[in-house]
Amino acid sequence: MISPAFQHPFGSTIDRTALSARLDAANSWEAKNRLLVQLARELPGFSDTERNEEHRVSGCESTVWVMTYWHDGRLQVAADSDSRVIKGLLTLLLTAYHDQAPDAIRQFDLEGWLAKLGLTRFLSASRGNGLRAIARKIVAAASDK
Amino acid sequence: MSLDISALRAEFPLFGHYPDLVYLDNAATTQKPRAVLDAERAFYETSNANVHRGPHRLSIKATEAFEAARAKVARFINAERDDEIVFTRGTTEAINLVAYSWGAANLKPGDEVLVTALEHHANIVPWQLIARQTGATVRAIPVLADGSLDRTAFLSLLQPQVKLVAITHASNAIGTRLPVLELTAAAHVAGARVLIDGAQVIAHESVDVQALGADFYVFSGHKMYGPTGIGVLYAKAELLAGMPPWQGGGEMIDRVSFDGTTFAEPPARFEAGTPAIAQAVGLAAAIDWLNTHDRAGLRQHEAHLCALLDAGLRKIAGVKVIGNTADRAPLRSLVFEHAHPFDVAQFLDARDIAVRVGRHCAEPLLESLGVTGTLRVSFAAYNTVRDVERFLAALAETLDDLA
C-alpha cells in the first residue's frame, strides 16, 4: 500500500508558478517564516514507523525524512521534518521534484529558483540536511533511472 | 566600581554595524573588541615576520611579540612557567595534541580514560580515536536529571586502571559547572592525570591552573574576545618534557638527519610549522582587555542577566530549561512544548536575535537528558538587560505564533 504521505498537493495541484507567487508576496523574513509554517500544515506528516533511520537525512538542528518510489516513469516524493520551517521548505522541493520525469528533475535549476525567491540561505542551513543535500539525494534517485 | 555596559559594548565595532542585533550565541564565539582588532592589524603593519628563525630585526620583533603573548597567557591562568603554554588552533586541537602525544605514549590495553557525559564531542572523540589505537577504553561518568555529575558513579568508576580523567569546566550545552577542584583532587589520589576543558569558562571567570591542580587545561581564544585560530594547551612542565611530538615539521626539531632526528624542548616541540603569530598577539590583547575591566563585576553582570532570563522564562508557558543546577556558566538551554527549537530560532532571527539550536556537539548528553535538541541562549559581558527583555518578548510572541 502506498503511504498517505504521498497524497500531498505539491508538484501536482500546486505547481512552481503558484508557489512562487505565494512566496513573492511574503516580503519580510517574518512573513516568509509564517508562510513556510503555513505550507507545512498543507503537507501530511509521516507515520511514526515511516520516521525511521532508512528515511532519515542526517542533520544536527532538525531531522528530515524522505521517501521516494517510481510510478509510470515519474518520481514520487514524500518528505517530512520535525521542524515546521524546514517542512515548509520541503514543500518547495516537492513542488520541484514530485511526480516529475527523470529528465525534468535533472534539468531543474533548484538553486536558481531559490535565489529568485530569496531563500538561498536555506540551501546549506542546518548542517548536513540543508535543502541542497536533500535535493542531491532526490536527484541521485532520479539519476539511477 | 560600577560597570558601564553600554560603554563596554561600544568597544565592539560589530555592534556599530548591527545596532539592533541581540547576539546571544556567545558560547559559540564572542565578538571582538577594537583593542584586539587593532593589535592584530598593528602586528602586521609594524612587526610582521616569521618567528624564531630570522637573523634580522623584524623577525626578532615578531618573536618577542609572540613570546610575550605566551608569557601573558601564562600569567593569565597562573601557570608556573611560560614554557607550560603551547599555542594551538583552539580547544579541539589542544585536546587532540594531548591525546596523540601523551595518550599515545602513556595508554595501553586495559587502561581507561574517564570522561563525563557532559562533554563536547571534542573531549570525547579524540579519546575514542586514541583508545582504538592503544587498546585503552573510554568510559563516561553519567549525569543526573538536573544536569549535574553523578559523583557516586564517578568515585566508583575511578579505579586504578584509569590513567586520565578528561572533564569540562562547564558544559557548552546546558551550562553545568563541574566541581573541577574536587574532581581533580580525587583523580590525583587515584593516580590519574586530569585534563580540564575550559572553553566555556575562560571568558567569564579567573582561572588558576595551579590552584586547580590541573595537569592539562585547554581553551580557545575566540570564545574570550580573542581571534579565531588560536588556542592554548597548558600542561605541567614535567608532563610536557616527557611527551613525544605529534606533528612533524619546522620549528619543532633540534637536529634533523636521515639517521635520526632529535626534537626541540617544549613548547616548540609541539608547535610544528609557522604558528598563528598575529592571532597570538590578538589573544594577548584580549587578555589585556579583560584585565582592564572589573572581571568579578562582569561575572556578576552576566549572572544578573541569567537571573532576569530565568525569571522571565518562568512567566512564559511551554518553556522548559534543560539542566538546573545552581552553579552554571552564563547560558541556558531551552526546549518548548509546542515548537521546535529550529523554528523558534528562525522566527527570532527575523527579529535580529541570534541564538544557537541543535545538539551543540554534545549528543550523548542530550540523549541522556531525553531531548533531541535545544535552543541555547549564551551571554557575554556586552549583553544588556535590554537584550534579555527583547529576547523574552520575542520568544513569547514566537511561541504564540507557533502554538
The complex's ipTM?
A: 0.90
Which pLDDT score, from 0 to 100, does residue B75 have?
Answer: 98
- For residue range B345-384, what is the model confidence (pLDDT) as tens digits? 999 999 999 999 988 899 999 999 999 899 999 999 999 9
Asked if B340's CB is within 8 angstroms of A82's CB, the reply is yes
> Quick one: average pLDDT of B109-136?
97
Residues in chain B: 403
Alpha-carbon torsion angle B48, B51, B55, B57, nearest 10: 40
End-to-end CA distance of chain B: 45
Measured between beta carbons, the chain B residues lying within 8 angstroms of A90 are none
Which pLDDT score, from 0 to 100, does residue A137 have?
Answer: 82
> Quick one: average pLDDT of B65-76?
98
Check pLDDT > 50 for residue A8: yes
How many helices (H) and strands (E) in chain B?
16, 15
Measured between beta carbons, the chain A residues lying within 8 angstroms of B343 are 33, 37, 83-85
Nearest to A126 among B342, B347, B349 (CB): B342
The amino acid that residue B372 corresponds to is T
Which pLDDT score, from 0 to 100, does residue B257 have?
Answer: 86
Nearest to B350 among A33, A61, A83 (CB): A33
Asked if B351's CB is within 8 angstroms of A30's CB, the reply is yes
Lowest model confidence (mean pLDDT) among A47-51, A114-118, B121-125: A114-118
C-alpha cell recorded at residue B101? 602525544
CA angle B338, B339, B345 (to 5 degrees): 155
A38 contacts chain B (CB < 8 A): no
Q: Spell out a b/e string for A93-124, using b for 16 or more CB atoms within 10 Å of the CB, else e.
A: bbbbbbbbebeebeebebeebbeebebeebbe
Closest to B331 measured CA to CA, from B347, B311, B355? B355
Which residue segments constitute the domains of chain B, with CATH numbers given?
5-29+294-402 (3.90.1150.10), 37-291 (3.40.640.10)
Share of chain A above pLDDT 70, in %: 92
Match domain A4-143 to its CATH number in 3.40.50.300, 3.40.50.970, 3.30.70.60, 3.90.1010.10: 3.90.1010.10
A64 contacts chain B (CB < 8 A): no
Asked if B343's CB is within 8 angstroms of A85's CB, the reply is yes
Which pLDDT score, from 0 to 100, does residue A98 have?
Answer: 95
Q: What is the bridge-based pairing of β-strands B331-336 and B374-378?
A: antiparallel
A126 contacts chain B (CB < 8 A): yes
- DSSP annotation of A69 reads E
C-alpha cell recorded at residue B352? 535580529
- For residue range A81-105, what is the model confidence (pLDDT) as tens digits? 999 999 999 999 999 999 999 999 9
C-alpha cell recorded at residue B261? 632526528
C-alpha cell recorded at residue A125? 542551513
- What is the distance, to the nearest Å, from the Cα of residue A25 to the centroid of all Cα atoms in its chain? 20
Which pLDDT score, from 0 to 100, does residue A125 have?
Answer: 58
Cβ count within 10 A of residue B299: 16
Asked if B357's CB is within 8 angstroms of A61's CB, the reply is yes
A129 contacts chain B (CB < 8 A): no
Asked if A29's CB is within 8 angstroms of B343's CB, the reply is no
Residue A127's pLDDT band (cuts 50, 70, 90): low
- For residue range B257-278, what is the model confidence (pLDDT) as tens digits? 888 888 889 999 999 999 999 9
- For residue range B5-18, what is the model confidence (pLDDT) as tens digits? 999 999 999 999 99
Q: Between A and B, how many residue pairs show a Cβ–Cβ distance under 8 A?
A: 44
Which pLDDT score, from 0 to 100, does residue B339 have?
Answer: 96
- The whole-angstrom separation of Cα B132 and Cα B384 is 47
- Judged by phi (left if over 0) then psi (alpha if -120 to 50, else beta), residue B69 lies in alpha
Which is it for the CA torsion B275, B279, B284, B286, positive or negative? negative
Check pLDDT > 90 for residue A132: no
* Closest chain A residue by Cα to residue B340: A83
A29 is catalytic: no
Asked if A126's CB is within 8 angstroms of B350's CB, the reply is no
Cis peptide before B267 (omega within 30 of 0): yes
* Closest chain A residue by Cα to residue B373: A61
- DSSP annotation of B102 reads I
Alpha-carbon torsion angle B51, B53, B58, B61, nearest 10: 50
Cβ count within 10 A of residue B262: 9
